[in-house]
C-alpha cells in the first residue's frame, strides 16, 4: 500500500493511504508542489511544466517528463495501454509523493528506473525486460504502477513481479555522535541564551529548550574543594 505524506506551511504532516490516481490525490500533490516551490526546492512555477528543475542547496536536479510524450509514447500506449498524458500525470504525482520522504537524487532515480524499463520494452517482451533489470531498479518501481488505472496485462504482470520481490535490505548504520565537549558547549550556550532571552524569544524557542533539557546528558560540575 502506497502512503503519501502531506505537509503544509505550518510544517506538520498527515499521511494518506493511496488507492489510485484520483482527483483528491492530484489536488493534494499540486498543493504540495506549490509548497516546495515556495521553499525554493522546485524552481518551476507550474505543476504542468513537463521539465522540473530542483535543488537541495548542494546540487541541482532535473525531472524530464517530456520523454514520455516523445521517446516512449508508442510503448506507453501500446504495451501498457495507458494514455501518455496520463502516464506523465502519474509520474508527477509519484514524484511529489516522494518529496519530503526521499532525497531528490532518489526521486530522480525512480523516474530513470521507469525509463530504463520502457527502453527495454521497445525491443524486448516484459518477461525478458524484467529479468535483465537489477533489484535496485525494480525496488524503485515497486510503488509506482498501482497508480495507473489500466487493465493492461503488461502492467498486471509487472505488479505481480514487483510484489514478489523481497524489500530492499536496510543498511545497519548508526549515526556518529559529536565529541562530548560539543554537547557541553551547546549546553552552556543554551543556558546563557535563556538567562538573557526576552519574553518573545522564550516563547519561540521554548520547544527547543524543553527538548534539550529532557534529552541532554546533564553535566555534574565538580564541587570546589576548600
pLDDT digits (tens, 9 = 90+) for 109-140: 999 999 999 999 999 998 998 888 888 888 88
Confidence of residue 6 (pLDDT cuts 50, 70, 90): low
- Residue 102 carries which DSSP code? B
Judged by phi (left if over 0) then psi (alpha if -120 to 50, else beta), residue 158 lies in alpha
Mean pLDDT (the chain) is: 81
Residue 193: per-residue pLDDT: 81
Tens-digit pLDDT profile for residues 41-85: 999 999 999 999 999 888 999 999 999 999 999 999 998 899 999
| High-pLDDT (> 90) share of the chain, % | 37
C-beta of residue 120 within 8 angstroms of C-beta of residue 126: no
Cα 223 from Cα 105, distance rounded (Å): 53
pLDDT at 225: 42
Q: pLDDT value at position 69?
A: 93
Question: Residues 154-165: what's their mean pLDDT?
Answer: 86
User: In this prediction, what percent of the chain has a pLDDT beyond 70?
Assistant: 77
Rounded Cα–Cα distance for residues 13 and 127 (Å): 39
Name which residue leads in pLDDT, 176 or 48: 48
pLDDT value of position 212? 78
Among positive and negative, which fits the CA dihedral 202, 205, 211, 217?
A: negative
Number of Cβ atoms within 10 Å of the Cβ of 85: 12
Q: Which residue has the cell 533539557?
A: 213
pLDDT for residue 222 is more than 60: no
Assess contact for 84 and 77: CB atoms under 8 A.
yes
pLDDT-derived band at 224 (thresholds 50, 70, 90) equals very low
| 11-25: pLDDT as tens digits | 545 555 666 788 988
DSSP 3-state of 42: strand
Q: What is the pLDDT of residue 12?
A: 47
Q: What is the pLDDT of residues 141-152, one digit of tens each?
A: 888 888 887 778
β-pairing, 51-55 vs 60-64, is antiparallel
Amino acid at each position: 500500500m502506497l502512503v503519501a505524506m502531506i505537509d503544509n506551511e505550518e510544517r506538520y504532516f498527515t499521511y494518506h493511504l493511496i488507492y489510485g490516481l484520483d482527483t483528491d490525490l492530484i489536488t493534494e500533490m499540486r498543493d504540495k508542489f506549490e509548497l516546495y516551490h515556495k521553499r525554493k526546492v522546485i524552481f518551476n512555477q507550474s505543476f504542468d511544466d513537463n521539465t522540473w528543475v530542483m535543488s537541495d542547496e548542494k546540487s541541482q536536479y532535473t525531472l524530464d517528463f517530456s520523454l514520455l510524450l516523445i521517446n516512449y509514447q508508442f510503448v506507453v500506449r501500446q504495451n501498457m495501454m495507458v494514455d501518455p498524458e496520463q502516464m506523465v500525470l502519474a509520474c508527477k504525482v509519484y514524484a511529489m509523493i516522494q518529496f519530503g520522504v526521499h532525497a531528490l537524487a532518489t526521486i530522480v532515480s525512480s523516474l530513470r528506473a521507469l525509463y530504463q524499463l520502457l527502453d527495454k520494452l521497445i525491443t524486448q517482451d516484459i518477461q525478458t525486460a524484467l529479468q535483465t533489470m537489477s533489484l535496485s531498479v525494480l525496488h524503485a518501481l515497486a510503488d509506482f504502477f498501482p497508480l495507473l488505472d489500466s487493465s493492461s496485462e503488461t502492467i498486471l504482470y509487472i505488479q505481480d513481479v514487483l510484489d514478489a520481490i523481497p524489500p530492499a535490505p536496510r543498511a545497519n548504520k548508526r549515526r556518529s555522535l559529536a565529541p562530548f565537549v560539543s554537547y557541553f558547549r551547546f549546553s552552556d550556550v543554551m543556558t546563557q541564551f535563556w538567562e538573557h532571552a526576552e519574553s518573545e524569544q522564550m516563547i519561540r524557542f521554548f520547544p527547543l529548550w524543553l527538548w534539550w533539557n529532557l534529552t541532554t546528558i546533564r553535566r555534574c560540575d565538580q564541587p570546589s574543594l576548600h
